[in-house]
Amino acid sequence: MKLFFDKYQGTGNDFVMIDDRTERFNEKDSALVARLCHRKFGIGADGLILLRTDKDYDFKMVYFNADGKEGSMCGNGGRCIVAFAHQLGIFKEQTTFNAVDGLHEASIKEGAMVSLKMKDVDAVEITPSFYFMDTGSPHYVTYVEDVADFDVFGNGRKIRYNDRFKEQGTNVNFVERLSDKHLFVRTYERGVEDETLSCGTGVTACAIAESLSNPTMQGISSLGFEVGFEIRIKVMGGELAVAYHKNKNHFTNIYLKGKAEKVFEGSIEIK
């Protein structure tokens, strides 16, 4: 069978996108998914995403990690499927879609800029050495110096496979504060089991950690209303931004912002 696909990337996080509104793709065939994502023997990607119909929303996102297993929410993948759905004519400017972690809202503007609403976060584990939270996927966040020269693979793998996380797994983010409201983040991703050029749920977690650790971002209004912030985040594949409202340790209206672009389209024979 000939499988048609599109390849998208969001700040270097790349995905095989499949229009599966007829639901012909065998989502149980993890070996096929892994082969399609393989960079030597397949198309090559950090993950594979199926776009399917949804009875309540514009579409449904089904995400698979590069190892072939269905994954938790992927922020950059979510931005890319929004751009893909826009290309397919499913919506014009604003959309709502279903994903493994529930409903998401998004919009797209000229220049392929996608703004994706993420889930609320109100449970953050705070320790002297790291932050841990679920932003759609589990994330471990720790601050380091000179992240550009840091051994992300070696140190990330140690944490991902330590006694606490080896069963469930976790993504591991290493953060350097470049300036006020500007971070540099590198991420080891479970499922890919390597560093990726960008991780959307990861930078979201890092923005939240920064908001909890940076004294300039601690305050709430005297009336107790949520205060809005936006943090720019440098990743190996470009620049992203995370905007959110904060009331103490409760984070709402979280938006992941950045470009999502089509790289190429093609077809591949599968058995």
Residue 97 token pair: 């879609």
The C-alpha angle 183, 73, 47, rounded to 5 degrees, equals: 90
206 included as an active-site residue: no
Q: Do 251 and 74 form a contact (C-beta atoms < 8 A)?
A: no
37, 74, 80, 206: which one is catalytic? 74
Q: Concatenated DSSP letters for 106-169?
A: EEEETTTEEEEEPPPB--EEE-SS-EEEESSSEEEEEE-S-GGGS-HHHHHHHHHTSTTTTTT-
| Residue owning tokens 């599109």 | 6
Please list the residues that pair with 51 across neighbouring strands. Answer: 19, 61
The amino acid at residue 238 is: G
Query: At which residue do the structure tokens 């893909």 appear?
Result: 84
Q: Are strands 59-65 and 47-52 parallel, antiparallel or unpaired?
A: antiparallel
- C-alpha span between 239 and 135 (Å, rounded): 19
169 Ramachandran zone, left/alpha/beta (phi>0; psi -120 to 50): left
Q: How far apart are CA 32 and CA 69, in angstroms?
A: 10
Is-contact 168 200, C-beta < 8 A? no
37 catalytic? Reply is: no
Beta-bridge partners for 232: 182, 241
User: Which residue among the candidates 37, 80, 199, 206 is catalytic per the annotation?
Assistant: 199
Range 111-136 burial, b when 16+ CB lie within 10 A, else e: ebebbbbbbebeebeeeeebbbbbbb
Known catalytic residues are 74, 199
